[in-house]
Amino acid sequence: MSKIRYFIKQSWLLILSSFCFGLLLAIANAAWYPRILQNEKEKLNKLIVGLVSDANDFQIVIEDVNIPGERGKIIKTDIYKVRNAEGKTAGFAFVGIGSGFADKIKLVITIDSKCEKFLGFDVLSSNETPGFGDKIKEKEFRTQFKGIVAGNLEIIKAGEAKNGKVMAISGATVSSESVVKIFNIYIDKITQKIQEAGLD
């Protein structure tokens, strides 16, 4: 008996089971995908309002901004204009995506109306390690970004978090660096697009 025939005879059940489970996962994903997108949209809306002071409403003002991502891959994102109750611009928001320690990290990042300072960020989705990497969601880490100059940031492990420097989370340096990297990849292109469009 040839090696190939022997292999098939010994492993046909495993191959069939893998195919069936893969098919079921694909069907389940297709069925739940619209609901997943809707849940993410609702969370995005909630986070934007929570991150921008005096936010009353918001809308997409620039669609499909091309961001040069990792390994030359182009990422697309939308820019949201956030307005207060008087209809004046309270800030801007966008979704930033990058690679974390375990999986992709999606952030909602906000900047002020003049594109001078970050208003803060929150995590839209993340599968970072519980108790370590998922600490990027905690207020103590996120507060560092509020009011910091909207430019390239630097991650540090010791010292004082100021002048564009962000203190890494102990035991979760990779996740901390991933967040800062997302900020740095997006901010220049986002502010450029806002300024080119003359938005205020």
Q: Do 108 and 51 meet the contact criterion of CB atoms below 8 Å apart?
A: yes
Q: Do 109 and 65 meet the contact criterion of CB atoms below 8 Å apart?
A: no
Q: Do 166 and 176 meet the contact criterion of CB atoms below 8 Å apart?
A: yes
Q: What is the dihedral of CA 42, 46, 52, 53, to 10 degrees?
A: 140
Taking residues 43-68, report their average pLDDT. Answer: 92
pLDDT at residue number 118: 96
Query: For residue 7, is pLDDT > 70?
Result: no
Question: Which of the four pLDDT bands, split at 50, 70 and 90, describes residue 72?
Answer: confident
Taking residues 114-121, report their average pLDDT. Answer: 95
Write out 98-124 in H/E/C secondary structure.
EECCCCEEEEEEEECCCCCEEEEEEEE
Q: Where are the domains of the chain?
A: 36-197
Place of tokens 């207060």: 84
pLDDT at residue number 162: 78
Average pLDDT taken over every residue of the chain: 86
Taking residues 45-64, report their average pLDDT. Answer: 92
Distance CA 69, CA 127 (A): 20
Is pLDDT larger for residue 47 or for residue 159? 47
pLDDT at residue number 37: 64
What is the pTM assigned to this prediction?
0.81
Place of tokens 């660096």: 177
Query: For residue 12, is pLDDT > 70?
Result: no
Query: For residue 40, is pLDDT > 90?
Result: no
The percent of residues above 90 in pLDDT, for the chain, comes to 56
> In this predicted model, what pLDDT tens digit does every residue of 125-170 receive, in sequence order?
998 888 888 899 999 999 999 999 999 999 998 877 778 899 999 8
Question: Which of the four pLDDT bands, split at 50, 70 and 90, describes residue 6?
Answer: low
> In this predicted model, what pLDDT tens digit does every residue of 13-36 receive, in sequence order?
666 677 777 777 767 666 665 676
